[in-house]
Amino acid sequence: MSENKEFNPSCPISISDYPNVLLAHGSGGTLMNQLIDGVFKIAFKNKELHKSHDAAVLNIDSSKIAITTDSYVVDPLFFPGGDIGSMAIYGTINDLAMSGAMPIALSVGFILEEGLEMEKLIKVVNSMQVAANKAGVDIVTGDTKVVDRGKGDGIFINTTGIGLIKHNMSIEPSSVVDGDAIIISGDIGRHGIAIMAVREGLEFSTFIESDSAPLNGLVSKLIDSKIEIHCMRDLTRGGLASALVEIAKTSNSQITIDENNIPVREDVRGACEILGFDPMYVANEGRFIAFVKRDDVNKALNIFHSDELGKDAKCIGYVSADKPGSVTMRSCIGTMRVVDMLSGEQLPRIC
């Protein structure tokens, strides 16, 4: 039971600068972080929320659980490699997995637009059940609302997941320490490019599918191996760059990465060049980074490579205490550059 606290409303975000919510406030970049820090964290202030992690970890009657919630508003509803339904399941499962939690139940809320074809709804719902079966979790409760035609964009989905934590590690940004190695589970950028290709009617010489997938199986292998994991983060909105910056700031550490070690498929890289995107900021739905003890790098990579979702995993960099809160990258040509959060909206409505 939470304590009764006097709510003192404040507005650290300048209303004169942002009198209205912008699309960029949901992009995973600088404006979204300002919104979270300056509005939601101020209003909902509590210790767990301020850890800035994908799932909140709670101790209830000697059991340690994780709980997370997310909403999905992707356009189009169906895309190569997935749809809004499977993505909603995997996205929530993956947020639980990033805390090292084993998913045990999901709730689902639907906001449906009047006039939505029932055939589409059934296809989405069936996809969600297939995804839940693949992740090994049940959808145990839900809610449905219908809004007027033109006010819902087809389907919006909210999912909440509960997971059980059976290990003693504190897998969160504040656990990152000097010397940690950073492993990425695979290639980046495919989800965002797959969405854009369908939305804009683009055709490439190769077929680009979303990487949308459940990560809990691979994470369980890492935990069962007794590897010392300090933090994990899935690379959704804002991509790899935003995830690294968030963790560097929360852990008050410097992160240095090598661009040559970041896997990007050539067709994705080419599409990004044509469209003017940086793969570092393009969202993924089946990729994550793990911060592990430096001595565990080779063991961790062997486990990644033994799983289909981690076969292309690489160590991309290390943590130091030199310049707290910063991320730097050695480019392909050997120069160093600062990696910062995306300040605007690069790819709207991709998750």
Instruction: DSSP for 215-258, please give it.
Output: -HHHHHHHHHTT--EEEEEE--TTHHHHHHHHHHHHHT-EEEEE
The pLDDT assigned to 45 comes to 80
Are 184 and 314 found together in one domain?
A: yes
Domain with 314 in it: what CATH number?
3.90.650.10
Q: Is residue 345 part of a domain?
A: no
First CA to last CA across the chain, in angstroms?
Answer: 33
Tell me: do 37 and 73 sit in the same domain.
no
User: What pLDDT does 347 receive?
Assistant: 64
Q: Are 276 and 327 found together in one domain? A: yes
Task: Identify the three-state secondary structure at position 349.
Answer: coil
The torsion of the CA quartet 43, 112, 192, 330, rounded to 10 degrees, works out to 10
- Alpha-helical runs (H) found in 51-163: 84-97, 118-135
CA distances from 49 to 16, 55, 262 (A): 27, 9, 31
User: Is residue 189 a part of any domain in this protein?
Assistant: yes
Final residue of a structural domain among 104, 134, 165: 165
According to the model, what pLDDT value does residue 151 have?
A: 86
Say if residue 254 is in the same domain as residue 199.
yes
Between the alpha carbon of residue 309 and those of residues 184, 196, 313, the distances in Å are 11, 23, 9
Looking at the fold, whether 138 and 200 belong to one and the same domain comes out as: no
- Looking at the structure, tell me whether residues 41 and 93 fall in a common domain: no
pLDDT at 342: 77
Report if residue 349 sits inside a domain. Answer: no
pLDDT in tens, the chain (351 residues): 444 555 455 455 555 577 777 767 766 788 878 878 877 788 778 777 778 877 778 777 778 999 999 999 998 999 999 999 999 999 999 999 999 999 999 999 899 999 899 899 999 999 999 999 999 999 999 888 989 888 888 999 999 999 999 999 999 999 999 999 999 999 999 999 999 888 888 888 789 999 999 999 999 999 999 999 999 999 998 999 999 999 999 999 999 999 999 999 999 999 999 888 999 999 999 999 999 999 999 999 999 999 999 999 999 999 999 999 999 999 999 999 999 987 766 665 677
Which residues are registered as beta bridge partners of 256? 318, 328
Instruction: Examine residue 76 and say whether the peptide bond preceding it is cis (omega within 30 degrees of 0).
Output: yes
Q: pLDDT value at position 14?
A: 58
Token pair of 131 as six digits? 């995804």
The number of domains in the chain is 3
* Spatial separation of the C-alpha atoms in residues 109 and 264, rounded to whole Å: 34
End residue of a domain, out of 138, 165, 192: 165
pLDDT of residue 23: 67
Closest to 291 (Cα-Cα) out of 176, 147, 124: 176
Cα gap 322→178, rounded to integer Å? 9
Please indicate, yes or no, whether residues 252 and 292 belong to a single structural domain of this protein: yes
Judge if 42 and 58 occupy the same domain: no
- CA atoms of 173 and 171, how far apart (whole Å): 7
Q: What residue numbers bound the domain in which 71 lies?
A: 54-165
The last residue of a domain, from among 130, 165, 200: 165
Is the domain of 190 the same as that of 334?
yes
Q: Read off the CATH number of the domain in which 155 is found.
A: 3.30.1330.10
Q: Does 348 fall in a domain?
A: no
30 and 120 inside one domain: no
- Report yes or no on 305 lying in a domain: yes
**200 inside domain:** yes
User: Is residue 115 in some structural domain?
Assistant: yes
Residue 185 sits in the same domain as residue 295 = yes
Is residue 347 assigned to a domain? no
- For residues 183 and 254, state if they share a domain: yes
Residues 6+ apart with CB under 8 A from 277: 189, 192, 193, 271, 346, 347
